[in-house]
Chain A
Amino acid sequence: DTGVSQDPRHKITKRGQNVTFRCDPISEHNRLYWYRQTLGQGPEFLTYFQNEAQLEKSRLLSDRFSAERPKGSFSTLEIQRTEQGDSAMYLCASSGGGNQPQHFGDGTRLSIL
């Protein structure tokens, strides 16, 4: 049984560098979501895809953040010109659509030096 997988699990980078994270959803799920979570907070929604279409991106934190899901399978989240405040856990989730529950990966922890 393969759940949602995220890569890398940890990323340490210097301020100003670009970073890219990958998410592989559960294969039969057509919806894919990205969240950010900081210490003591719940996950904060960033964007989501239905198949390859990005249906909501107004809540991406700034224009430095972008996401793609080119063939409706895996997705990538890119942060350009990283800042100290970008340090957080970035979570990916997938679901079967509609009001089906989301299933999360174990996240990528980003640390900005």
Chain B
Amino acid sequence: EDQVTQSPEALRLQEGESSSLNCSYTVSGLRGLFWYRQDPGKGPEFLFTLYSAGEEKEKERLKATLTKKESFLHITAPKPEDSATYLCAPSSGGSYIPTFGRGTSLIVHP
């Protein structure tokens, strides 16, 4: 059974204080790993797809990286508008159904 663990569960940062979120996964035959951002009362918003170990993707202050067992979402000089829950979801198997972690709730204080 696919397993996904995200840490920390919650993270409070000051504006400008860089940090990283972790996603550890155990899946049989990784097809890809997705990162999403979710604001309260909204559906998840797609950020990145990573397909193979060593791959990196960047978007504004966010950079996602992938190893064979983990993915990291690095946040550089965050702003209050980066406050949200960040979800990771590896997909595996022939149906490509992703398994979502519980997310990391990020709060960035001005």
Contact = CB atoms under 8 A, between A and B. Distances in A.
A109 B46 CA distance: 20
B72 interface: no
Contacts of B100: 35, 42-44
Contacts, number: 53
Contacts of A91: 43-44
B91 interface: yes
A4 B96 CA distance: 20
A99 B97 contact: no
A14 to B, nearest CB: 23
B43 A104 contact: yes
Nearest to B51: A99
A21 B4 CA distance: 29
A48 B102 contact: no
A73 interface: no
A106 B96 contact: no
B95 A102 contact: no
A107 interface: yes
Interface in A76-113: 91, 93, 98-99, 101-107, 109
26 contacts: A4-B43, A33-B97, A35-B100, A41-B102, A42-B4, A42-B89, A42-B101, A42-B103, A44-B100, A45-B97, A45-B98, A48-B97, A55-B95, A56-B95, A56-B97, A99-B31, A101-B34, A101-B46, A102-B34, A102-B98, A103-B46, A104-B36, A104-B44, A104-B45, A106-B42, A109-B41
Interface of A: 4, 33, 35, 40-45, 48, 55-56, 91, 93, 98-99, 101-107, 109
